[in-house]
Amino acid sequence: MSHLYIALVGLPARGKSFLAARLLEGLEADGLKVRLFNNGDLRRSRLGAASSLPEFYAPENESARRQREELARINMEQARDFLAGGGNVAVLDAANISRQRRRVLEENLTDAPILFIECINNDAELLEASIERKAGLPEFSGFGLAAAKESFVRRIGYYERLYAPLREERHFVRVETLHNRILEERDCAGIPFYIQIRDILVSDWVRHLYLLRHGQSEYNAQNRIGGDSGLTGKGRKQAEALAAHFQPFDLPYIFTSSRKRAKETAAPLLQGHPGSIHIMLPEFDEISAGECEGMSYTEIRRNLPKEYAARQADKYAYVYPGGEGYITLKDRVGKGFRKALFLSGAAPGIVIIGHQAINRMILSLFFFRRNESVPYIYVPQNEYFHIVSTHRQTLLELVRFTE
């Protein structure tokens, strides 16, 4: 069987390790023998905390440069031994940002083709969130959060001084990792397993997504829309039942909107999972009803009959005066969903606690519903959607957690 090296390329916090994990899982599912060779893991195990300081990455630090090159050499040798011993694909998970480092790979790994994959993401807001997430990793446990972020930003600055995008390499593909889009390919047609690799690169990868609606809120009980009300007694019981149901689950990331009812629903879940990272994304805030915020549909019909009729005629295209509609939610919610997937990386399971309209928009990515049917997707408060989506498997089920 054929053999292949995959060498990842890109600045820190651009999704390289997440992509490496996807390649491992996806290609192994195709029956291939695949192994990851992560320079960062090797560095931390051999050099310890000192190698986390930003000065370790300064281009003028000759001693550190020699140490980094030695680590790269070790990983290259281990990757070559893996292929020689019957492996199919060796994934070199490292920055490989300079042309010089990539030339070393090309000169030393001559027993199989090398496919370079450059990971690109220039979304400033997402980069900031990624840096904050990185700052919370064990590598920076000796720092305060602010100091860890400052350290990591300085590290990125040193990398940027050396960064050279892929241009001269024989086989490469450049990928925008937020939207999983291929930006450029060069001479990839004859690369072993490239058909499978390309499918993995463009697939949205969801191992286990648990999509929840907040518990019953005060406005829900009063049949009012929008607002920022808290949970009712029933809603709090639903949140507690939810936490009990998910107690055995591994949930590294829990995403919520910024609304009180979503955060109150998440509180018992976070208490039962103290190691989980809670991230609030305003992209998951409920649809804004504008001038109709806080009103019931009976009040809208009585006080704003033309608006009520327009909404009844086409709920998907209707936009509340001064507010939003399903049609305008698409970009906002889509961006939030991709941010959640990017930030959670290779996590085995993630939770999103959203709202009725928001969850409908997320579900429409998997239901493939006609636009006009999206406002009618069933989103209960005592059940959740469990979603798995990879290039080989799609699962969507509705699971009850309380009466």
> 351 with 272: CB under 8 angstroms?
no
Three-state DSSP class for residue 231: strand
Q: Are 204 and 13 in contact (CB under 8 A)?
A: no
How do 383-389 and 394-400 pair as beta strands? antiparallel
Strand arrangement of the beta sheet that strand 181-186 belongs to: 34-38, 89-93, 4-9, 114-120, 172-176, 181-186
Paired tokens of 78: 């281990």
E strands within 172-205?
A: 172-176, 181-186
CB-count burial class (<10 Å; 0-12, 13-18, 19+) for 402: middle
**Alpha carbon of 48 to those of 54, 107, 138: distances in Å?**
13, 29, 11
Burial string for 315-335 (b: 16+ CB within 10 Å, else e) reads bbebbbeebbbbeebbebbbb
User: Does 214 participate in catalysis according to the annotation?
Assistant: yes
- Spell out the SS3 assignment of 35-49: EEEEHHHHHHHHHHH
Residue 317 one-letter amino acid: A
Q: How far apart are CA 312 and CA 237, in angstroms?
A: 33
Q: Is the dihedral of CA 11, 362, 352, 247 positive or negative?
A: negative
Residue type for 139, please? E
Q: Which listed residue (3, 171, 214, 391) is catalytic?
A: 214
Rounded to an integer, what distance in angstroms lies between the CA atom of residue 173 and that of residue 96? 14
Rounded Cα distance between 146 and 387, Å, is 35
The single residue of 118, 264, 283, 286 carrying the catalytic annotation is 283
Cβ atoms 20, 8 nearer than 8 A: yes
Q: Is 283 a catalytic residue?
A: yes
The closest alpha carbon to 277, from 83, 126, 136, belongs to 136
Q: Which residues are catalytic?
A: 214, 283
